[in-house]
Amino acid sequence: MKHISDCTVLHNQVKMPWLGLGVYKIPDGEEVRGAVRYALEHGYRSIDTAALYENEAGVGQAVKESGLRREDLFITTKVWNTDQGYESTLAAFETSRKKLAMDMIDLYLIHWPVKGKYKETWKALEKLYKEGWVRAIGVSNFHAHHLEDLLADCEIKPMVNQVEYHPLLSQQELRRFCQAQGIQMEAWSPLARGQILNDSTVLTIAGKHQKTPAQIVLRWDLQNGVVTIPKSSSEERIAENAGIFDFVLSADDMAALDSLNENKRVGPDPDNFSF
């Protein structure tokens, strides 16, 4: 993890960048196009969107305008809860694909584990994967018990589980479970919506390395083997978030950050989410 182009290798041998740009709540149109443009200019090659975000068209337009080769980019989107189910997921995927204006999506995720629906939804993702419409498939916001339920009778194991992950919610048991299963964990809200940035431990480590608190937390993600997708529409922040490949946190730094865990969520708990 020494360069922004460095990748993890998913269990199906597809390469996925360790760092990506999240575009949650960035309005479609010029704002999201600008964010994606800034990210690509600063070396990002992974962009994470979703049907829920309603900005897939802007992401697709920015990618097209970048002039970069499509095969050099890694684009993720997700099926929303109200579209879950077999046929409805296939239709939702086609809608997302057309909005993105792409022949193939790199990673397609189930956004939340909607009880009674996510298994049928997964069958649709397996079909899309086998037919070559997506390079990898995975889930988001799945606890270990959701994964165990899915793994009990799925044909293809998820390649990724994207979850809330930051030092206040280190999800160590889930991370160990995913590692044992060969499922790559990915962090959304890696900065805990800013709540972690004024922590005294984070500030001390930031001073030691002459880095910003955000850079310290994002580096912690990577050294824990977790892909991370910080969200920003500011070019300054996007560039700052990319500055995490020229230093290494010590074992003591990592242990100090690990100790901050409070099992504190800034987003919904997948077991208590209003679907």
Taking only the tens place, the pLDDT of each residue in 221-268 is 999 999 999 999 999 999 999 999 999 999 999 999 999 999 999 999
Backbone angles phi, psi at 161, to 5 degrees: -130, 110
How far apart CA 236 and CA 108 sit, in angstroms, is 29
Which residues contact residue 234 at a Cβ distance below 8 angstroms, ignoring those fewer than 6 apart? none
* CA R_g for the chain: 18
Query: The domain 7-263 is classified under which CATH number: 3.20.20.100, 2.60.40.1120, 3.50.50.60, 3.40.50.150?
Result: 3.20.20.100
Report if pTM > 0.75. yes
- Please give the structure tokens belonging to residue 179: 């590692």
How far apart CA 173 and CA 134 sit, in angstroms, is 29
How far apart CA 89 and CA 229 sit, in angstroms, is 24
Amino acid 40 reads: L
Q: Over 70: is that where the pLDDT of 194 sits?
A: yes
Q: Over the chain, what is the mean pLDDT?
A: 97
Q: Could you read off the pLDDT of 55-109 as tens digits, one per residue? A: 999 999 999 999 999 999 999 999 999 999 999 999 999 999 999 999 999 999 9
Q: What is the average per-residue pLDDT within 176-195?
A: 98
> For position 174, what pLDDT does the model report?
98
Three-class SS of residue 164? strand
How far apart CA 146 and CA 18 sit, in angstroms, is 24
Q: What is the average per-residue pLDDT within 19-46?
A: 98
Q: Over 80: is that where the pLDDT of 150 sits?
A: yes
Rounded to whole angstroms, the maximal C-alpha distance in the chain is: 53
Length of the chain: 275
> For position 1, what pLDDT does the model report?
87
Query: In this structure, are residues 178 and 171 in contact, taking their beta carbons and an 8 Å threshold?
Result: no
Q: Over 90: is that where the pLDDT of 274 sits?
A: no
Please report, for the chain, the start and end positions of each structural domain, with discontinuous segments joined by +: 7-263
Q: What is the average per-residue pLDDT within 134-139?
A: 99
Q: What's the Cα-to-Cα distance from 103 to each of 4, 99, 133, 162, 178, rounded to whole Å?
A: 25, 11, 7, 23, 30
Three-class SS of residue 7? strand
> For position 108, what pLDDT does the model report?
99
Active site residue 86: no
> For position 275, what pLDDT does the model report?
67
Residue of 38, 44, 53, 129 marked catalytic: 53
**DSSP letters of 28-80?**
TTHHHHHHHHHHHHTT--EEE--GGGT-HHHHHHHHHHH---GGG-EEEEEE-
Q: Over 70: is that where the pLDDT of 52 sits?
A: yes
Q: Over 90: is that where the pLDDT of 39 sits?
A: yes
State the distance between the two ends of the chain, measured CA to CA, in whole angstroms.
Answer: 37
Give percent of the chain with pLDDT exceeding 90: 99
